Chain A
Amino acid sequence: MTDREPYLVLRDFRVWFQKHRGFVEALRRRDPGYIRAVDGIDLTIGKGEIYCLVGESGCGKTTTGKGILQLVPPTGGDVFLNPTSEELAQYEADMVGKNLDAVEAFRERRSLSYAERIHRSPVDWIRHTLVTAAGAALAALVAFGVILAFRAVGATGAETLAYIPLGILIGLAGTLPWVKTTHHVPHALAGVSLVTSIATQVLAVGASLSAAGQPADPGSVLATYGGLMQQNDLFVAFIQMIVAAAAAWYSAGFFHHMWDRRRGVVTDRLRKLRTRLQIIFQDPYESLNPRHTIYDIVAEPLLVNRITRSRAETASRVEQALADAGLRPAKEYLLRYPHELSGGQRQRVSIAGALVLEPEFLVADEPVSMLDVSIRTEIVELLMQLRDKRGLTYLFITHDLSLARVLADRIGVMYLGKIVEQGPTEELTAHPRHPYTNALISVVPIPDPDRKHERIILRGERPDPSDIPPGCRFHPRCPVAFEKCGWTSEEVLASLREIATGESSDFLDGASAHGPLSIVWSQPKPGCEEWLRNLVTTKAEAFRALKGVRSIEGSGGALKVELHPFEEPPLKSVTPDVLVACHLFA
């Protein structure tokens, strides 16, 4: 790692998006399916460090940046801001030691993304509604029971009143231990209503019986209770019950909402954080409101966060921020509109807007990719100066490795939502270890016609993040994938089919996948086994899926191909600084 104090720490950070489904689909399938844009990232950025995330578009680098600022809600994992090294070490130790209570406590206290926001499916929603409704109905029963109890006891109502809080207490005591997460709240509420209802009614009827000098055993209490039901005016009670149900429904929802807000950092805590964490967006032509003047744009964060006390103070801070962003003299820019500025100047306005709150951490999301090459360096230089002057920490997101190379302290390479390699800039660009990093670096064009170099062009495009390949997520495109990288029977069959079509042979007839790791021919053609053995030895370089074949067995007229078992390679240290997620380095 670095010798810097940690500033921003991500642990198993995930941002998933629920896939869009039609209504019928939603009814038929329980699991909605997720687009796993960011799928478990561990990252530590030191104070004053520039950390670059690179990768193809759609690999989740922008989503990571937005997720940290909670511009998109994180699905899971944690973001810790400014933890001390000791705190972090303790947390890691607790994680390893499975000291879950301590871990949980630390997360609740420090994690910015602690809210376990589970995306609800329609089925969940229906269940949730039913539970809330049941809770409300039971709450109404309480009211009903209380009414009955009052009527039964008649003159001694004042005494009965004392039993209601007692009933509620019994209910609370009985059901509160169920409450572990947000989602248990409606269940608990329903429980409180149920127990309260029964307890109050039984207590009241029992009390009235003993007040009348009658035996108060369970049998006679029940009999009295049934009798009371028949005597009463059910219509009036019914109306009262509906009113009570509405009140209970509303309070259940309100309670639930408050609970969510308390658990997530949705309100004040997050707003305060936003003054410390800022973002510069990619496209300065689209990220500035065309109907606001430069002053309005830069002053807005001050106003919404109620930072400044007077107009003069706002104006002076806006001017300072513009000057810091390199727009001098700042006064000249205040009353202009974005369309009057060039691309570079607009990006400086964006930077000024981010700087005006004097943040500690900036997410720079491709801040120069829309700008002309001739002015990119100006902006990059400005960002680096700001780091030196103010000790800013950056998460710099870019797809341009040659740019990352000149400005980053460390680089993380992302592929399909995971970091596949991370290391100090010099080391990573000079000696890429992961085959993906290697390929990415090899295709960066070099501004020198004399230096021709081997380009490793990956075939195809990155797979769909809603359907991430098993095993190593890079294996289908990897030029050096081998046995245990994650070849499944479907992939092997697809390769075989391609070869068979090319040779127009019919050896594949009757072959089918049995689970992910075996292919079975029920009635193989004669010579099929030899054909397969031959392919595995001769074609495995061109059709890498064939590398996954572990054994070919023909017995009793059936032919069975077994594949190597596989697992996803974890991100492991190769040297003290470099982490790689690849089986080649396991």
Chain B
Amino acid sequence: MALLEVKDLRVHFSTPDGDVRAVDGVTFSVGEGESLGLAGESGCGKTTAALSIMRLLPRNGRIVSGSITYQGYDLAKLSMPQMRSIRWQHISIIFQGAMNALNPVKRVGSQIAEPIILHEKVDEEAAQKRVGELLELVGIHKDRASEYPHEFSGGMRQRVMIAMALACNPRLVIADEPVTALDVMIQAQILELLEKLKRDLGLSMILISHDLSVMAETCDSMAIMYAGKIVETGSVRDVFKRSKHPYTKDLIGAFPDIKGARTLPAYIPGDIPSLIHPPSGCPFHPRCKLAWKLCEDEEPALLPVGDGHRAACHLNTTERPA
């Protein structure tokens, strides 16, 4: 039984130039204690998908259709007060850019205490006690709760963000690029911490990143997004080892491997397509090395290609004309 199921989610942003179809029919699910990786280039809709689960879309964004089912509730249709009882206590988010996500003029401890006081209706003292526990949990001495964000290093701030996300014992944590701006060593520390928390607290996690190699090390399953659509999804091993979509292969090929051959990694020529006027057929066809006529005309469906492994590419269903 999946903890969270997203079905055919469509999110549009209205802009003066027309509607931006940031998320365009996305379906995925996260099981109990599972971690799902959402990967793709910038602008592919990963963060928008996460924000719509939390119902935190900016003013000009709206969920057009689709459902987000969490324990029988459709989050896409809940009212804001109802949604408020889901946030933090059930689903929480670690925002992108820990450097800037904390309020610089408030002490770290009181920022972590805020959701606790708000959601669990406890008094200041109990909240501060919980803050101490949370900080210790993420490896910060509890006496540092009274410091300001600028007194923390980048890695420490990211730990604070994680502590904050765990404040009300959520069951699902969405981590939006949790290690992107960090150094490799700090990155390893944070990933190790996330893994430990996942193990110890039995958390489910959605990890959003453009860095596939990070996912290879931390996730159970993953979904590759391109231009608002999922092009391939499955277990990490399936996606990496038995990729059934040219984009996935190209993306994996773009990562240099420190233990592999010493050659320049490949790159994907061209730019990501406009989301206002997406290309006809398969959104990836203008950049795809293997595209042919059918790819321009018809959009491939996300079809099973193995056990729990699905891909959206005509190559899997049709013989490519020579």
Contacts and interface: CB of A to CB of B under 8 A. Distances in A.
Contact of A378 (B210, B258, B269): B269
B185 interface: yes
Interface in A394-439: 399-403, 405-407, 425-426, 429, 439
B37 to A, nearest CB: 11
B125 to A, nearest CB: 26
Given A374-B268, A399-B184, A440-B184, A448 B216 contact: yes
A377 B264 contact: yes
Nearest to B220: A449
B257 A446 contact: yes
A374 B259 CA distance: 20
A450 B216 CA distance: 9
A374 B42 CA distance: 10
A447 interface: yes
B259 A446 contact: yes
Contact of B183 (A56, A381, A425, A453): A56
Contacts of A399: 183-184
A447 B156 CA distance: 26
Given A374-B250, A403-B256, A425-B262, A445 B217 contact: yes
Interface in A65-99: none
A289 interface: no
B213 interface: yes
A375 B267 contact: yes
A555 B258 CA distance: 56
B6 interface: no
A455 B241 contact: no
A455 B214 CA distance: 13
B318 interface: no
B153 interface: yes
Interface in A52-68: 56-57
Nearest to A373: B254
Q: How large is the interface on B (under 10, 10 to 19, 20 to 34, 35 or more residues)?
A: 35 or more
A373 B240 CA distance: 16
Contacts of B269: 378
A444 interface: yes
B155 A443 contact: no
A380 B184 contact: no
A373 B262 contact: no
A232 interface: no
Contacts of B256: 400, 402-403, 405-406
Contacts of A286: none
A457 interface: yes
A448 B217 CA distance: 8
Contacts of A449: 216-217, 236-237, 240-241
A461 interface: yes
A180 interface: no
A381 B252 CA distance: 18
B126 interface: no
Interface in B138-197: 153-156, 183-189, 192
B188 A372 contact: no
B193 to A, nearest CB: 10
B264 A406 contact: yes
B212 interface: yes
A557 B155 CA distance: 47
B264 A373 contact: no
Contact of A446 (B192, B217, B251, B262): B217
Contacts of A455: 188, 192
A381 B264 CA distance: 8
B41 interface: yes
Nearest to A436: B185
Nearest to B256: A402
A2 interface: no
Contacts of A440: 184-185
A446 B258 contact: yes
A452 B267 CA distance: 25
B183 A57 contact: yes
Given A380-B264, A449-B216, A455-B188, A373 B211 contact: yes
Given A372-B41, A449-B236, A377 B267 contact: yes
Given A402-B256, A405-B262, A457-B192, A375 B183 contact: no
Interface string A441-481: 10111111111110101100100000000000000000000
B153 A373 contact: no
Nearest to A342: B271
Nearest to A59: B183
B185 A457 contact: yes
Nearest to A452: B217
B184 A373 contact: no
A376 interface: yes
Contacts of B202: none
Nearest to A442: B188
A407 B256 CA distance: 10
B262 A426 contact: yes
B188 A457 contact: yes
A386 to B, nearest CB: 14
Nearest to B189: A457
Interface in B221-266: 236-237, 240-241, 250-252, 254-259, 262-266
Interface string A260-280: 000000000000000000000
Q: Which of B154, B210, B268 has the most CB of A within 10 A?
A: B268
B42 A372 contact: yes
Contact of B258 (A342, A372, A444, A452): A444
20 contacts: A56-B183, A342-B271, A373-B210, A374-B254, A376-B265, A381-B267, A406-B256, A406-B262, A406-B263, A445-B187, A445-B213, A446-B213, A447-B216, A449-B236, A449-B240, A452-B217, A455-B188, A457-B185, A461-B153, A461-B156
| Across the A-B interface, the 3 shortest Cβ-Cβ residue pairs | A445-B213, A377-B267, A443-B188
Interface of B: 41-42, 153-156, 183-189, 192, 210-214, 216-217, 236-237, 240-241, 250-252, 254-259, 262-269, 271
Given A405-B256, A446-B259, 16 more contacts: A56-B183, A56-B184, A57-B183, A344-B271, A372-B41, A375-B267, A399-B183, A402-B257, A439-B185, A444-B213, A447-B216, A449-B237, A450-B237, A451-B259, A453-B259, A457-B185
